[in-house]
Structure 1
Amino acid sequence: EPHFVQVLPYGPYVYFFFREVAVELSALGKVLVARVARVCRNDRGGSPRVLERRWTSFLKVRLQCSVPGDTVFYFDVLEAVTPPQTLHGRPAVLALFGTQPNRQGHGDMGTIPGSAVCAFYLADVERSFEGPFAESRGATWTPVPEDRVPQPRPGCCAGMGPAAGVVTSGDFPDETLVFAKEHPLLHGAVGPAGGRPLFTRTGTRLTQLAVDTGAGPRGNQTVLFLGAEDGRVLKVLAAAQRPEATHAKALLLEEISLYDPGRSWKCPGARGHGRGQGHGVGAQGRAMAALSPCPRRSCLAARDPYCVWLPSRGCVPFSEDLPSGFQQDVEGSLGISGSCQGATAAADGDEDGDVAHEVRHPGPGAAATVPVPVLVGCVLGAFALGALATGLVATCCQRPAVPKAPPEPPCAPRTP
């Protein structure tokens, strides 16, 4: 039975995102795959002869999230799908996938448990429904030749496009309705934006997804909030570049343990202080973002788009009423050290210090230490300056010598 994950009205269609056992892969056993199906909003069912009270426009295609390489690794189990978002200026949905269940019954996941987030442009999804139909030929499934597809094409909406002359869905020719009934599956798959996932995680099963595509002071950053089945929440900064860029790479900002806060950590190993402060994110991500206050250390190295550095106030959550002059380095362009990849929670020995650009500003009462060579140099310099000053004072205060008057000439003898 199919497991429906999300229903999204978009344009003249309603899209259904679900997972089911792939009939086209039955030779491999019960393999789950992700699907996206489409139905016209004005679909009222077929004629009394074919598809009466059943959808006439229902078509489905595989939704593929995989890591490319010499051996392609697939994430086939669809877990969550977001509503339509604007990603790099284009409408898209973000979806969370997992690996196949263990068919041997040794646990819920396979031998390599993992999860991935893929983005799908809605234009690519719509284009996939114009592709060839699939049909079974023995144990294999092949595309149906285009000359065998009736017109109007199955899946069209009555009164629109190629079916503009059809008044209602019940007025389609029987040939079109019979073909739609027998060929609901399309050949091929919808690939992710950029041809690869936005983020992958091995060893963890992620089941919940929330996204904020307008994070940061400029509203141009995308942050993912991923919920794991063991109670952890992963906060991930998606790459600022388009997914098509080969160097685009997501950054794990923070991992929050809801059941054991002592195991939580924040990039690059600094812990937040005080009560959690809510960040201005979308409705889905607001609750998760509120769990995480801004760090008091390594503010810029943390690369958190919700936090900025103010020289007068330290690391604070961004808001529209903040004064100008704050700093932020989400892209890591300043070359500040610090990375979350592979980091673990670690106690911070000086939790009262504020650090910007990795320069520590001691808090009140912090003891300052001076290296011995500097201290000796200062003493010798002070001694030399003191001696010089003493000599100058003595020279200036000495009374000048008064020149003596010339001796008087001897008195002339008296004349009688």
Structure 2
Amino acid sequence: MKRIVLIYAIFARDFQLVLSVVLKDTPILGSEKNNPRLLTKDILSNGFDYIISQNHSVFFYQEDYEDMYVGGTDFVLKLNGEDYRVIEKYPLKTTGQQQCQEGLCGNVITIIEKFQDSLFVCGTNSYRPQCWKLFSSANNQSYEIVESYEGTGISPFEYTQNYVSLTVEGDLYSAAPLDTDGSSLQFRRKAGSRTNVWMYDNWVSEPTFISASWVKRLEDPDNEKIYIFFREKNSDTNPEADPWISRVARVCKVDEGGSKRFFQNMWTSFLKARLVCGFPDESLYFNRLLDIYVMHAEKWRDTRVYALFTSSWNATAVCIYTVGMIEEIFENSTFKGYNKDIPNPRPGACVKNSRSLPLATVNMVKDHPEMSDWVHSVHTKTPFYTSNYNYTKIAVDRVKGVDEHMYNILLLATDSGKIHKVLEAGSQPFIISETQLPSSSRIQSMKLDPKRKKLVVGFSEKVSTVDLQRCQEYNKSCQECVLARDPYCAWTKSGCKPTVPGGIQNIMDGKTDVCPLEEKKQERRKKRNTFPASPADLRADHAVPLGVPFYLSCPIDSYHATYTWEHGGQRSPCLQMQTNCLHLIPSMEQDSYGTYKCVSKEKGFTKVVKNYQLMEQKIAETTTDSEKMDIPNKRNDASAFVPQIICITLGQAVAVLGML
């Protein structure tokens, strides 16, 4: 009883202070900016648990491969493409008698790629990187290893070291350390039908490679480029300068290196430019590139690059670029540090025989590979999206709406295991939802399955899937389905369902006037006949004595809505407690009784979330004859009733406070 009285004292003394602690990392009501509309806890039914927790995992999925592959320590798993169950395990343990360094034993799989006619797998192999080709067996149900290769320069020596890989038309491109300490890191064409080529050491300074992507040009394959995204040490030694600077570089797919007498086996087409994300007018930039997602388009210039950045002030941002914009800089910018006539052919140009390039062109690439101009984002003056959430990974899905338009959905993973679903509709982001994944560990890997509209997420203890079509979350009415602005979902005669022709949506602004007029009249009947009311929808009656404190609570359905409490013609604001709105009555008086309504309003749509009816509880009804002698004292001592009242009405709040 003392503990419950203390809880009441805390609430009564400084309610807002308690809320400020409880609401840490919880969205604030009534604002769309940087605020998820809906919070959900995902029940992940598909996937599997590892037998032993993994320090590192890597995913491989392509739509022409029906299945997905997961690499861990000493194994590769083949997952069923429908429900992501494990259907086969391929052991890939350390080969030879390698000696462990600093206790880092085992073969941690770092690369899984489709390479030539096989599945190409590489691992750390206890500090002696090794690669294997896995060919389909005769019955086409499993793989068998028939070839192995030296893996240095393809896989890192340990999984914590930086690396990246890419396969293009039978060629393998990679960046991985050549030395055990993680040094000698550069982007190379390492294996395949074309000549092996590598970088000139002076081109980059302590790089961290993030991603590499091949952009096809069906009408002009000889001009196809490989784009490399990375960050490197900033040459500006000013104490106020950020230590890192983000880059995009490119090389030509047809580049075979220079002639035998100059730049043999070196890229002759390497150019790099600064990738800018920030507020140029304020000279405020997000300089640390974290992750990249490339969304390919039918026209190569329209291919979009979604880049995730962080900053020195612990904020993150997403900037969007097009390959056309990137190419504009590489094709037209001057070269940093060079003020003479630019030789012909222009340095960085793709030619069928790179070994025949004139010395002046190759020398320009050697000594001045950086562009003077910067690559700005589509939105130029600002990032597309900025946030105080610590995002770590990004993927982007493309969804066709009822209006036949395509909408892009950003899927952002936070360092606390949450997934934000963000709509790109025009220049403003709209955070549709936040899903808290049930795991105690950080997200290691994330892969989008656009065909099945799933997001596959890897943790140290398991692999799980997130259903991107969780339309049941908006199933209460047409208005709530439309307000969600979720391109995956539309209102139909059967409720809010995955988008189908003829459904009802308003993705661009979420206004509910697209819903049928009779919807409002029929809403109650539909709820009764089609969607059974949940306990939260029912009216709650309470008998409460005079003179005691009382708290009312209603669930928050949308963090973009505003909530008010209505009683006796008066309105009062909601007091937010995590996923609930509270109303505090410090001491019950005669005019405190009656009907209370918790009302939400969003984009003109108003609804009653919860109804309460408070009635006076007579003291004689709850006391014995001996207790009646002391009724006046009990009327004045509200805390005597606190245990009963708070336990009934603030069970969740008590539990929350108990964890503080």
Partners of 2:351 and 2:407 lie apart in 1 by 40
Change over 3 Å in CA distance of 1:308–1:357 after alignment to 2: farther
Q: Identify the residue that residue 340 of structure 1 maps to in structure 2.
A: 560
Q: Which amino acid aligns with 2:295?
A: P
Matched, 1:120 2:120: no
| Counterpart AA for 1:187 | S
Name the residue aligned to 1:331: 508
State the 1:283 CA deviation. Answer: 6.8
Structure 1 position 183 matched with structure 2 position 377:
no
1:141 maps to what in 2?
Answer: none
Q: Is 2:260 the partner of 1:48?
A: yes
CA distance 1:357–1:231, shift in 2 (3 Å): same
8 Å contact from structure 2 (residues 418, 435) kept in 1 = yes
Structure 1 unaligned runs (5+)?
Answer: 101-109, 136-143, 160-167, 242-247, 262-277, 370-416
* Pairwise CA distance, 1:290: 3.7
Task: Provide the C-alpha distance between the structure 2 equivalents of 1:94 and 1:157, rounded to a whole number of angstroms.
Answer: 22
Q: Please name the residue that 2:75 is paired with.
A: none
Contact kept in structure 2, 1:57 and 1:154, CA below 8 Å = yes
> What one-letter code is carried by the residue in structure 2 that aligns with 1:176?
T
The 8 Å contact of residues 307 and 316 in structure 1, kept in 2 or not, is answered as yes
- Code of the aligned partner of 1:123: G
1:294 Cα shift? 3.2
Match of 1:133 in 2: 335
Match of 2:351 among 138, 143, 158: 158
Q: Give the number of the structure whose residues are more often strand, by fraction.
A: 2
| Corresponding position: 1:252 with 2:431 | yes
1:137-166 per-position Cα deviation (integer Å, ceiling 9, x unaligned):
xxxxxxx2252x32222111224xxxxxxx
Code of the aligned partner of 2:303: A
What is the Cα deviation at residue 61 of structure 1? 0.5
Q: Secondary structure, in 3 states, of the residue corresponding to 1:60? A: strand
Q: 2:339 aligns with which of 133, 145, 151?
A: 145
Task: State how far apart, in whole Å, the 1-side matches of 2:436 and 2:498 are.
Answer: 21
Matches within 5 A, 1:392-403: none
Q: Does 1:294 align with 2:472?
A: yes
Determine if contact 1:84/1:93 at 8 Å carries over to the other structure: yes
Tell me which of 486, 499, 511 is aligned to 1:318: 499
User: Cα distance, 1:207 vs. partner?
Assistant: 1.4
Describe the shift of the 1:68–1:153 C-alpha distance in structure 2 as closer, same or farther (beyond 3 A): closer
The SS at the match of 1:39 is strand
**Alpha carbons of structure 1 residues 123 and 90: separation in structure 2 relative to 1, 3 Å:** closer
Structure 2 residue identity aligned to 1:95: Y
Equivalent residues in 2 for 1:364-383 (5 A)? none
Structure 2 counterpart of 1:400: none
Please, which of 464, 479, 486 is the counterpart of residue 304 of structure 1?
Answer: 486
The 5-angstrom pairing of residues 145-224 of structure 1 reads 145-147=339-341, 149-159=342-352, 168-195=353-380, 196-202=382-388, 204-217=389-402, 218-224=404-410
Q: Which string of whole-angstrom CA distances, capped at 9 and with x for unpartnered residues, describes residues 244-291 of structure 1?
A: xxxx31111111111379xxxxxxxxxxxxxxxx99666768944448
Aligned pair in 2 of structure 1 residues 88, 53: CA closer, same or farther (>3 Å)?
closer
Structure 1 letter corresponding to 2:272:
K
Shift of 1:85: 3.4
Letter in 2 for 1:252: I
Q: Measure the CA separation in 2 of the matches of 1:90 and 1:178.
A: 29
Contact 2:469-2:488 within 8 A present in 1 as well:
no
Distance 2:340 2:466 in 1: 49
C-alpha distance in structure 2 between counterparts of 1:289 and 1:87, whole Å? 27
Partner SS state of residue 83, structure 1: strand
- Letter of the 1:207 partner, please give it: T
User: Would you say how many aligned residue pairs link Structure 1 and Structure 2?
Assistant: 304
Question: Do 2:330 and 2:371's aligned partners in 1 also have CA atoms closer than 8 Å?
Answer: yes
Match runs of 1:62-141 below 5 Å: 62-69=274-281, 71-86=282-297, 91-100=302-311, 110=312, 112-130=313-331, 131-135=333-337
Aligned-residue CA RMSD (Å):
3.9
Q: 1:27 to 1:170 in 2, by over 3 A?
A: farther
**Cα distance in structure 1, aligned partners of 2:418 and 2:456:** 14
Give 3-state SS (helix, strand or coil) of 1:250's partner: strand
Question: Post-superposition shift, 1:340?
Answer: 3.3
1:309: Cα distance to partner?
1.8
Query: Is residue 208 of structure 2 the alignment partner of residue 3 of structure 1?
Result: yes
Distance 2:368 2:455 in 1: 37
Query: Residues 341, 73 of structure 1: CA spacing in aligned structure 2 closer, same or farther, 3 A cutoff?
Result: farther
- Partner amino acid for 1:5? I
Equivalent residue number for residue 179 of structure 2: none
CA offsets 1:349-390 (integer angstroms, 9 cap, x no match):
99xxxx99957799xxx99x9xxxxxxxxxxxxxxxxxxxxx
Aligned residues of 2:400 and 2:406 also touching (Cα < 8 A): yes
CA contact (8 A) 2:307 2:318 kept: yes
Q: 1:260 to 1:299 in 2, by over 3 A?
A: farther
Distance 2:450 2:497 in 1: 11
Q: One-letter code of the match for 2:261?
A: R
Change (3 A) 1:232 1:38: same
Aligned residues of 2:512 and 2:605 also touching (Cα < 8 A) = no
One-letter amino acid of the structure 1 residue matched with residue 499 of structure 2:
F
Cα deviation 1:51-90 (Å, max 9, x = unaligned): 1111111110011111354x13211211222223349996
SS at 1:125's partner residue? Answer: helix
Whether the 8 Å CA contact 1:117–1:198 is kept in 2: the answer is yes
CA contact (8 A) 2:308 2:393 kept: no
Q: AA paired with 1:220?
A: M
Contact 1:92 1:119 in 2 (8 A): no
Q: Under a length normalisation based on structure 2, what TM-score does the superposition of the two structures give?
A: 0.41
- Note closer, same or farther for the CA distance 1:51–1:279 as it changes in structure 2 (3 Å cut): closer
Q: Partner letter of residue 302 of structure 1?
A: A
Question: Unpaired segments of 5 or more residues in structure 2?
Answer: 1-205, 218-223, 441-448, 458-464, 514-556, 563-575, 583-596, 614-660
Q: 1: CA distance between counterparts of 2:360 and 2:293?
A: 37
Cα distance in 2, alignment partners of residues 314 and 205 from structure 1: 35
Alignment CA distance shift 1:42-1:86 (3 Å): closer
The code of the aligned residue for 2:364 comes to F
8 Å contact from structure 1 (residues 94, 117) kept in 2:
no
Q: Which amino acid aligns with 1:257?
A: Q
Give the partner amino acid of 2:304: V
Q: Which residue of 2 aligns with 1:265?
A: none
Deviations 1:383-402 (A, max 9, x none): xxxxxxxxxxxxxxxxxxxx
Change (3 A) 1:328 1:213: same
